[in-house]
Amino acid sequence: MIRRVVISGIGAVTPLGNDAQASWKASLEGVSGIDYIKSFDVAAFDTRFAGELKDFDPLNFMDRKEAKRTDRFIQLAVAASKMAVADAGLEAVDRADAERFGVIIGSGIGGIETHETQHSRFLQSGPGRISPFYVPMMISDMAAGYVSIVVGAKGPNFCTVSACASGGHAIGLAFRSIKYGESDLMLAGGTEGSITPMCLGGFNACKALSVRNDDPKGASRPFDKTRDGFVLGDGAGILLLEEYEHARARGAQIYAEISGVGMTADSYHITAPPPEGDGAQRAMRLAMQESGLNPEDVDYINAHGTSTEHNDVVETIAIKNVFGAHARNGLVISSTKSMTGHLLGAAGGVEAIFSALSLKYGLIPPTINYRYPDPECDLDYCPNQAREKPLRAVLSNSFGFGGHNITLALKKV
């Protein structure tokens, strides 16, 4: 039996706010969460800004001992998951529900901050000074594992690691778990705590980041002619997915229905997309096919939109090829990365939340910093101001290094 899957709870920590609603409100206002990095000395780096979190305190979600024994990416996942569970009204989970309640949380990089700290300790003082918590603090699966303990979920439990598609893949697999009867409830999304010296330096080394140090808030400018790279961001976005009848039976609120998923590989290059965006095209088509959607049924795409030279052109080409005339006649596209920066493995989770809220409220967040149109990026990117528009269906795109592509299709309920 194939079942319907809805979103009944959301939780997020982003550079725009320490919960989903604050982040959503800031996105509609066109606020930039990007600023100069304050957590470490960036004088020697080509890029000196990022989307850091503002006043996030893990002690609001765990005790001091737990906080000392968890990396930032785990803390963010716990915070967003607890908020999603509370938002869904699941104050207590009985045993029957617990065994059909799973957790899939993606992370592209995992506990890189812990790794850097412990490696420095190893070099300075030898292996005897490595923390006994080093491994469980660092490994990428521990966000999902830790959250399952915190919320009492005993169903499917694992981590997706597919670079910037990690959060989207987690949601897609959670959707399938419920759709085909394996579970009734799933926490799914992504988390990342990657604003560290090694990550910043590594992305600088591969020339992926913007170096617009004189204008941090204007640095993430997807689809703009003068874009010069993406901007790192930290955060987490977690959704509570639920089988439709299960949600109705307990009177749960419903934000949107997840109706289809498309997962593909480029099989082309480790970091660059193919010129025609073949993998992205197939992901969007597969998501719509599973949803029973025609191209003209889709009103909005929350684009991957990284503000890099190649992604923005290739994603535009892919959208044109998939949607034909509709791409220029009624379809609205925007990149919320213009405000949050690129949250890597957490991006798909946060952007799925924004997509669901867009459907629920009929509001589209803008692509800010869009000042100089690029002839190769010539669609409606909802520039600089949010837009009110009744929405029936939306797509959320996530593409990752390694050629990983996933599109989520959401419908209004």
Hey, which residues are catalytic here?
Answer: 164, 304, 342
4-25 burial by CB neighbour count: b if 16+ within 10 A, else e? bbbbbbbbbbbbbbbbbeebbe
- Round to the nearest angstrom and report the end-to-end CA distance of the chain: 20
How many angstroms separate the Cα of 305 from the Cα of each of 88, 113, 266, 309, 397?
30, 26, 17, 10, 9
The answer to whether 53 touches 205, Cβ cutoff 8 Å, is: no
Rounded to whole angstroms, the Cα distance separating 277 from 263 reads 14
Helix (H, G, I), strand (E, B) or coil at 35: strand
Rounded to the nearest 5 percent, the helix, strand and coil shares of the chain are 40, 20, 40
Q: How far is CA 24 from the centre of its chain?
A: 14
Q: How many CA atoms lie within 13 A of 327 on its CB side?
A: 15
Distance CA 312, CA 222 (A): 7
Q: Which region, left, alpha or beta, applies to residue 335 given φ > 0 means left and ψ of -120 to 50 means alpha? A: beta
Distance CA 49, CA 38 (A): 9
DSSP state of 51: B
Separation CA 40–CA 194 (nearest Å): 13
Residues for the chain: how many in total?
413
Distance CA 289, CA 298 (A): 12
Concatenate the DSSP letters of all residues of 276-300 into one string.
Answer: T-HHHHHHHHHHHHHHT--GGG--E
Residues 365 and 394: beta-carbon distance below 8 Å: no
Identify the residue whose tokens are 């809220």. Answer: 357
Backbone angles phi, psi at 148, to 5 degrees: -60, -35
